[in-house]
Amino acid sequence: MRARRTPLVHYLVALILGLMGGAGISELGMSTRTDLMGVPWLVSVLLFLLGVAILIMAFQVHRYAKGDRKEMDLRFAVNVLIMSKALGIACAALLGWYGSQALISMGHAGAPYYTRVMQECLVASLVCLIDVVAGAVGEWLCQLPPDDGPENPDRRKSSRRPMPDAADTADRAEIKTDSSKRHG
């Protein structure tokens, strides 16, 4: 199995879906006069800490790939790669979500509620942008150098046994039946 880099289009789709969701919630909140907008400050702090933790783990995998670290559980390396991919995609969607709420709140910046929402969402958007970059960098750090394992193309070519042609197989079967008729 070969792990591939997350295509840029996945980040863009997540961002667009987040923009649409955040705008929808903002419009719903304004039309019903309910408190659906904004983000608690704790969420921004936790997202930032999550990005830092994933980058630290990805750096450990990178050290192993370079040979600076002797041993590593390969499940750990795979899990860090998966977490890096998930962080990038999820934070791209959240960037759109909080970014759209911040943009809609700017139109009502005179009201204290919308000013608070705008500040919270701008900070959360910045943290999400940092985490998208952290996810992409973490994914890059988790790349392992090619080895002589079973997925190496050179090894695959050498391990294949030559397949006989269909004509050779038919000729052998015919010779075998002729020789069995003579002896029988």
pLDDT at position 174: 65
- pLDDT tens per residue across span 51-82: 999 999 999 999 988 888 888 888 999 999 99
3-state SS of 85-145? HHHHHHHHHHHHHHHHHHHHHHCCCCCHHHHHHHHHHHHHHHHHHHHHHHHHHHHHHCCCC
Query: What average pLDDT does the chain have?
Result: 83
pLDDT band of residue 28 (cuts 50, 70, 90) is confident
Three-state secondary-structure class, residue 24: helix
Q: Token digits for 38? A: 């904004």
Q: What is the pTM of this model?
A: 0.73
